[in-house]
Amino acid sequence: MRARTVVVAVALAALLVALPWLLPPFYANLLCFIAIYGGVATGLILLTGYAGLVSLGQGAFYGIGAYGAVVLAGAYGVDPWLSLLLGTALAAAAGYLVGLPILRLSGHYLALATLAWGIVATILFTQLASITGGANGFTNVPVLRVFGIDFVDPARFYYLTLVFAVLAVAALASLIRSRAGRAVRAMRSSEAAAASVGMEVGRIKLQVFVLAAALAGLGGALFAYFIAFISPSTFDLGASIRLLTMAMIGGAHPLGGVVGAAVVTLLDDVLQNVIPNGSGQAGLVQVIAYGAILVGLMLASPRGLEPVLGRLWPMRFRTAPARGGRGPGGRGPGVPASGGRGPGVPASGAPASGAPASGTAPARALLEVRGLGRNFGGLQAVDGLGFDLRAGEILGLIGPNGAGKTTAFNVISGLFPPSEGRVLLGGDDVTGKQAQHMARRGLTRTFQNTALFDMSVLENVMAGCHVHTRGGVWAGVLGLGRADEARAEREARRALERVGLTELDVRAPSLPVGKQRLLEVARSLAMRPLAVLLDEPAAGLRYAEKRELATLLRALRDEGLAVLLVEHDMDLVMNVADRIVVMNYGQMLAEGAPEQVRQDPDVIAAYLGLDAA
């Protein structure tokens, strides 16, 4: 397999290098455009295709890079090569400043904000005429040269653009397979679940935005040197939409940008040749064609060419072959792997802060809930709820429909803050803190609708390791942090072994629901949590699957994990819980051992209903 990849790569490289010689001279021009747009579109694919942030304003960063580079070189005599770097830096800085406020928006509000930003940038390019040459454009573009070689002829300039495109594609491919790439993809699948494994969603979005802006800036700078003339209309809304079209056609794949750029550029060329009237009519038909393409694409194939590209160059995370000698694989749940470490104890052996060493009875509860209340515009969903959760116990939270269990659960796990009351974790007040914060302190949750990430089983669990590994977007691009990744992979495999899942490469959402639940538990375990909150884990499970889950939970409890279970399924709760808290109308109705609670007349009345007098 490796050898074949090398051969393909070498052949491809040779082909790319030889292209200008193989094709008629005119095509060198096209190749340059394709490579430049391809690189910029690759950044947009990271932003839109992978991170799900639609931008209708990439043209602005494209323009900032272009103007930045040639103005510095042409008007201020900066070395052209240095100006490329500076132009990119300017675009990145703009990306940071613009991203900071607008990334608080999402969905179409975000898209509209980027649209506004793009228009403002175009106006600024036109108005700051003293710097940019205004509507007439900037012509004082010096020539890029190195060791006496001028990069003017398209066939020669092509190699610069080729390097740019290759770098962009390689950067994206590397990033997507790194820890940060996993975080981006996780965020796209479910921001709530990403937060629950400790990912700083806001920071990731900003980093991705800046990276896309930087790529756009570098592409713009190269473009300016290539054309040797730029004007504000080159970077207007039309350009942004064109880039978006390329990204949509290519789809969410590292090659998507280049492929989309090739399709659009060639289409433009064909239209110019087919429409005889010269640039006027062709430009018009282009516009209508783009419109039709965008609409048609969204209706017919919103994922663009990604399925095709994905088969050509699969972006699967390569799992290292299982190493023998660590004990037989495929063990059932509940039997700890030999030498396996329990939760709350990191690999280094030193106990995590606040966690009691397994085996000793804790003096104070791990999770304390005091007087918790939550109000929704007049409706008191939770009222004065209080209980303790200790390490090494399973607490069941039950109650009839509408009792407030889910609200209480969401407040405790940090999805939204309470209106009254306090939550203490390991003695520290974490009231109102968000899920990411809880995750870093050792509290994690599962979701009723199994918020699994759209990636393989193994990658899902590795995402759980996010909270105790390092490596941001830049590290991902450069391919650093391999050691951390290897460690994360080992830990993920261990967690999967614990829960008894063996198909590691399968796409998580395609698993049957019983296995999905186990996967969520494995992902939580990978975080080395102190406490796990499970949201209706039995929903949709068959009897055998429930038994499997129960056995696993009991094993985890025996190792010192604290488990809080919100459940409707009485079979599971009564079987597994050490203690039960019953809620009704937002308040605590009863608390005690399962048998006790089941026979409590108040509880029976709450569930089966009062006698209609």
Partner 1 sequence: MTTGTALFLLVTGLTNGAIYALLGLGLVLIYNVTRVINIAQGEFVMLGALTAVGLTTGEATGGITLAILAGAAWALLALLRRRRWSLLWLPVVGGALLWWGVDAIGPFHLPPVLGVLVATVAVAFVGAALYRLTIQPAAGAGEVVFLVITTGLYLGLQGLGLLFWGPGSFSFPSVHGGQIAAGGVRVSYQSLFVLVATFAVLALLWLFFERTLFGKALRAAAMNRLGARLVGISPERAGLVAFAISAGISALAGVLIAPVTYATYDMGLGLGLKGFVGAVIGGLSGYPGAVLGGLAIGVLEAFAAYTTSAYGEAIVYALIIPILLLRVVATRRGAAT
Partner 2 sequence: MSAASSRSADALLRVEGLEVAYGGVRALVGVSLAVRAGEVVTVIGANGAGKTSLVHAVTGVVPKRGGTVTFDRLDVTRMPPEDLVGRGLTLVPERRELFGALSVHDNLRLGAFLRANHTARVRRDLARVYDIFPRLAERRRQRAGTLSGGEQQMLALGRAMMSGPRLLLLDEPSLGLAPLIVQEILRVIAALRDEGVTVLLIEQNARAALKLADYGYLLEAGDVVTEAPADRLERDERVRAAYLGAGPVTT
Distance CA 353, CA 314 (A): 41
- Residue 104 DSSP class: T
Residue numbers 212-251 binding partner 1 by CB under 8 A: 237, 241, 244, 248
Chain mean position to CA 323: 30
Site string for partner 1, 404-443 (x = CB under 8 A): ------------xx--------------------------
**Which partner, partner 1, partner 2, none, binds residue 123 by CB below 5 to 8 Å per kind?**
partner 1
Q: Interacting stretch for partner 1, rule CB under 8 A, among 14-22, 112-120, 362-370, 509-517?
A: 112-120
Sole binder of partner 2 in the list 23, 82, 335, 513 (CB under 8 A)? 513
DSSP reduced 3-state for 506: coil
Residue 409 in contact with residue 533, Cβ under 8 Å? yes
**Which partner, partner 2, partner 1, none, binds residue 15 by CB below 5 to 8 Å per kind?**
none
DSSP character string of 143-158 = --EETTEE--SHHHHH
Sole binder of partner 2 in the list 130, 338, 348, 401 (CB under 8 A)? 401
**Which partner, partner 2, partner 1, none, binds residue 375 by CB below 5 to 8 Å per kind?**
partner 1
Q: Dihedral through CA 394, CA 400, CA 406, CA 408, nearest 10?
A: -70
3-state helix, strand, coil in the chain (%, to 5): 55, 10, 30
550 lies in the site for partner 2, by CB under 8 A: yes
296 lies in the site for partner 2, by CB under 8 A: no
587 lies in the site for partner 2, by CB under 8 A: no
- Nearer Cβ to partner 2 (429/571): 571
111 lies in the site for partner 1, by CB under 8 A: yes
- Nearer Cβ to partner 1 (57/399): 57
Q: Interacting stretch for partner 1, rule CB under 8 A, among 114-122, 219-227, 382-390, 406-414?
A: 114-122
Kindly state the smallest distance separating residue 190's Cβ from partner 1, in Å: 14
- Nearer Cβ to partner 1 (96/416): 416
532 lies in the site for partner 1, by CB under 8 A: no
Sole binder of partner 2 in the list 509, 558, 596, 602 (CB under 8 A)? 509
The per-type count for the chain, helices as H runs and strands as E runs, is 24, 12
Collect all residues with Cβ–Cβ distance below 8 Å to 26 and sequence separation of at least 6. none
Q: Dihedral through CA 335, CA 336, CA 342, CA 343, nearest 10?
A: -60
Region for 595 from its dihedrals, namely left if φ exceeds 0, alpha if ψ lies in -120 to 50, beta otherwise: alpha
- Nearer Cβ to partner 2 (459/548): 548
DSSP reduced 3-state for 362: coil
Q: Interacting stretch for partner 1, rule CB under 8 A, among 116-124, 450-458, 496-504, 572-580?
A: 116-124
Distance CA 226, CA 114 (A): 27
Please give the backbone phi and psi of residue 351, each rounded to the nearest 5 degrees, phi first: -65, 145
Kindly state the smallest distance separating residue 197's Cβ from partner 1, in Å: 23
Distance CA 153, CA 373 (A): 71
Side-chain-side CA neighbours of 258 within 13 Å: the count stands at: 21
202 lies in the site for partner 2, by CB under 8 A: no
Distance CA 211, CA 474 (A): 9
Q: Interacting stretch for partner 2, rule CB under 8 A, among 363-371, 382-390, 488-496, 599-607?
A: 599-607
Residue numbers 362-391 binding partner 1 by CB under 8 A: 375, 377
Which tokens go with 407? 């609200």
Distance CA 555, CA 328 (A): 19
Strands 420-425 and 531-535: unpaired
- Nearer Cβ to partner 1 (126/190): 126
| Count of residues in contact with partner 2, rule CB under 8 A | 34
Residue 99 in contact with residue 203, Cβ under 8 Å? no
**Which partner, partner 1, partner 2, none, binds residue 578 by CB below 5 to 8 Å per kind?**
none
Closest CA to 28 of 14, 17, 38: 17
Residues that bind partner 1 in the complex, under the rule CB under 8 A: 52, 54, 56, 101-102, 104-105, 107-109, 111-113, 115-117, 119-120, 123-124, 126-127, 237, 241, 244, 248, 284-285, 287-288, 290-295, 297-299, 302, 375, 377, 416-417
Residues that bind partner 2 in the complex, under the rule CB under 8 A: 400-402, 449-450, 509, 511-513, 516, 536, 539-540, 547, 550, 568-571, 573-575, 594-595, 598, 603-604, 607-613
